Structure 1
Amino acid sequence: RGEAVARWVHDIAVKRADARFGLLDLRDFNLPHLDEEMPPAMGQYQHPHTKAWAEAVAAFDAYVFVTPEYNHSTSGALKNAIDFLYAEWHNKAAGFVSYGAAGGTRAVEHLRLVLGELQVADVRDQVALSLSTDFEGFVALRPAAHQEATVTAMLDQVIAWGGALRRLRLEAAPQQ
């Protein structure tokens, strides 16, 4: 369901003129279970998949994480992808679109804690899609009418915070 949710959010986002948007699919990076020798905080990435992931993440000022909820948390694949990197996340903003039996809200609670450690400023508004009301037969995405406005409100905050944090990112960038 994640791909359909991500494409729906992206389709709403690209209608805006106040920011540029891209879509990162974890499948495109084929990240194994964290396999770097050094801790991510060292920034000494050895594997091509880590370097490609780091370059992709570093290119954005802010993120919208799309996550399912499994056992009161996010997916193992997303948590693993976040754990691969460190400095690439710093001083950026994040919003959340979650889905699950309880709208995925508990997965977002977990992500807020993890991203706080990585110096990511998460915004208040989030989109919580219920499998019983926003998916037909618990499978096909059919968001309720109000959900697009919720996405827009969350994007407003992510864009504002991403821009506000730009100064911190520039000050933290190594001088050439």
Structure 2
Amino acid sequence: MSDTPKIALIIGSTRATRFADKPAQWMLKQAKARTDMEVELVDLRDFDLPLFDEPASNKWMPSSDPKAIAWQKKIAEFDGYIFVTAEYNHSITGALKNALDQAYTEWNRKPMGAIGYGGVGAARAVEHLRNIAVELDMVPVHGAVHIAGGDFMAVHPLGANGPIESIEDHLMASATNLLDDMVWWANATKAARG
């Protein structure tokens, strides 16, 4: 078994017309180019989670819904999480919030970061996501990637729909910083949990 931390890159939108796949694939490529981490793309679409309807969080009692349990088992495999998030009304998507609520103990004492996109690079959504992460006993890292403003319109289908690589020089420093933070904190928290 490898000591290399395993990081989930979680696509936080389930909409048919989502933009998330483009930045997710770019971030996946950056993470896979490294030798100090393993990364796996985890798509919320693949889990068909119901709205949270358990008597309590699995912090207090086991979940009963098989889909929630499957999600919890998947999330438990990882040492950290990078969320790919849009900004909906100054926050994260409802699908991502629901997925976060469907687990508790699996998130605990592990780092999280984000790549956000939108007019302001999902800055408010990432800020909100960090607050939620603290409540779930995660460790929000400092680094984040924000695809905003002109860069966002250069790569979004409603704009020029260019490849992410056309703005890569604007993103690479923050992506490297995010991945460095994730590796450091994943190793530190993994050792502490052990």
**What TM-score does the superposition give when structure 1 sets the normalisation length?**
0.90
Alignment of 1:64-143 (within 5 A): 64-136=82-154, 138-139=156-157, 140=161, 142=164
Task: Give the gaps of 5 or more residues in structure 2.
Answer: 1-18
Change (3 A) 1:43 1:8: farther
Name the Cα RMSD after superposition: 1.5
Among 121, 132, 156, which residue is 2:180 paired with? 156
Identity of aligned residues (%): 38
- Is 34-43 or 50-59 further displaced after alignment? 34-43
Contact 2:26 2:164 in 1 (8 A): no
Shift of 1:131: 5.0
**What TM-score does the superposition give when structure 2 sets the normalisation length?**
0.82
Change (3 A) 1:116 1:137: closer
Partner of 1:29: 47
Which consecutive segments of 4 or more residues in structure 1 shift more than 6 A? none
Among 66, 70, 82, which residue is 1:48 paired with? 66
Give 2:131's aligned amino acid: L
CA distance in 1, matches of 2:57, 2:144: 31
Contact 1:100 1:129 in 2 (8 A): yes
CA distance in 1, matches of 2:149, 2:75: 29
- Is 131-140 or 97-106 further displaced after alignment? 131-140
Shift of 1:8: 1.0
Shift of 1:142: 2.7
Shift of 1:43: 4.2
